[in-house]
Copies of this chain bind each other. A is one copy, B any other.
Amino acid sequence: MPAVTSAPADSQRPDTKPRRRVGRPAAAVLDQDGITAAALQLIQKSGYDGFTMAALARTLNVAPSALYNHVSSKRDVLVLVQDHLTSLVDVSAFESEPWERAVRDWAWSYRDVFSKHTPLIPVIAVLPVTDAPKTLAMYEAVSAGFSRAGFPQERIISAIVAFESFIFGSAYDVTAPADIFDSGSMAATTPHFTSAVARLAEQGFESQADVAFSLGLKALIAGLGGFRA
């Protein structure tokens, strides 16, 4: 028993409104690059909450379903955006600077890019590199830098993964509210923690996230750098 939505069957030629375009347009309106660019713009304007297939389609003056001729899911769009963003990560220092400085610059740049795009982190973290050519290019540049710096081949990937893990985790920190560690009414029962938080706050100019990132990064560079021949 189908629910009849009662479209009046008596309209012979309704033409109450000028028929909208349907069918193949003069030239293709959409392609993956256009979709990626529009997605990025939309995300910047409306955030990841406002990033819907419907909203994306609207900015492209197209029906939502049209997107699916060029992309197979919303996740696909996120992968495209991710890959584009990764191409913005600065790996140039690997070709001019000593390893320590190169890693440091790369790590900061990487963190800064994705701290504005943390919803992509779960996507990147498990994405096969095959699906993201620009990401693969970044890895190549970094691997080459590690290799040139004298890293033993069999440690390179592990070291990069360690850096990346730290970078992704730190990207979240950037977005955390400033008072995240305020223990409020529980302060009395957590004396060590509460005092440590107070001590940090009372002398902190720099952003908390930046201090922690700087500290950890230095440790990783010193520790992992020790593997070089």
Residues of A within 8 A of B (CB): 118-119, 121-122, 125-130, 133, 136-137, 139-140, 143-144, 146-147, 153-159, 161-170, 172-173, 175-177, 179-186, 189-193, 195-197, 199-200, 202-203, 208-209, 211-213, 215-216, 218-220, 222-224
Contact = CB atoms under 8 A, between A and B. Distances in A.
A87 B79 CA distance: 34
A157 B197 contact: yes
19 contacts: A122-B122, A126-B177, A126-B180, A127-B180, A129-B183, A130-B184, A130-B185, A136-B183, A140-B192, A143-B193, A144-B193, A153-B196, A153-B199, A154-B203, A156-B200, A158-B211, A162-B213, A162-B219, A165-B169
B173 A165 contact: yes
B161 A165 contact: no
**Interchain residue pairs A-B with the least CB separation, the first 5:** A219-B223, A165-B169, A162-B216, A125-B172, A169-B169
Which of A130, A136, A137, A196 has most chain B Cβ within 10 Å? A196
Given A126-B172, A126-B177, A156 B196 contact: yes
A163 B185 CA distance: 26
Contacts of A166: 162, 165-166, 169, 216
B126 A158 contact: no
Nearest to A138: B193
Given A186-B136, A190-B140, A196 B147 contact: yes
B224 A216 contact: yes
A177 B119 CA distance: 19
Contacts of A147: 192, 196
Contacts of A182: 128-130
Nearest to A222: B223
Nearest to A139: B193
Contacts of A183: 129-130, 136
Contact of A122 (B157, B172, B189, B208): B172
Contacts of A181: 128-129, 139, 157
Contacts of A200: 153-158
Nearest to A227: B215
Contacts of A130: 182-186
